[in-house]
Copies of this chain bind each other. A is one copy, B any other.
Amino acid sequence: MKMNEGVEWAVHACCLLAPLGPDRGLSLAALADYHGVPAPYMAKQMQALSKAGIVRTSRGARGGYALGRGADAITLLDVVRAVDGAVPMFRCTEIRQRGPCASPRKDCAAPCPIARAFAGAEAAWRGALGAVTIADLVATVGRDGTPAHLGKIMQWFGAEARQLPSVG
């Protein structure tokens, strides 16, 4: 029961794109380099974010990725669903309908209590993730608060951030 590793990269990427606003973005190469992860695989996650509308993309020369909507309108749950999928971790296989004492199908209209309990726990998990937005995280992630580090990031932004075609 391990989460797709790409979720972490995707969340970090969103946190990095957030301060650039909706019109400025970063290329895939820059994102991969910044996070120190292989570019081809980072592409997969960005693609997933793009399909979910969390980021918008611009192709061709000087293209890249920018946040698709405000950072306060993107939750961790959104990112998890986009990258890791929405399939529940616990999937009931209707064991009660199998074996020598199987319950007949007609008596299994209501969901199995075991499945219901697990579904409840997952709902709690989703609720917690849905309550945290990228905006909540962006203030601190990847920054240690020292002026030297902030300056390093600003300098890097200056070299890598680019204007993307307006969405208008």
Contacts and interface: CB of A to CB of B under 8 A. Distances in A.
Contacts of A33: 99-100
24 contacts: A1-B3, A2-B87, A2-B91, A7-B90, A8-B92, A8-B95, A12-B95, A12-B114, A33-B99, A36-B98, A89-B89, A96-B142, A96-B143, A96-B144, A100-B156, A103-B142, A103-B143, A104-B149, A107-B145, A112-B141, A113-B136, A113-B137, A114-B137, A125-B128
Contact of A99 (B35, B141, B145): B35
A89 B8 contact: no
Interface string A74-96: 00100000001101011111011
A115 to B, nearest CB: 8
Given A113-B141, A125-B125, A101 B132 contact: no
Contacts of A35: 95, 98-99
B34 A100 contact: yes
- Interface size on A, as a range, is 35 or more
Interface string A115-129: 001101110111111
B101 A144 contact: no
Contacts of A166: none
B153 A101 contact: yes
The 3 A-B residue pairs whose C-beta atoms are closest, nearest first, are A36-B98, A107-B144, A121-B128
Contacts of A124: 124-125, 127-128
A140 B103 CA distance: 11
A11 interface: yes
A37 interface: yes
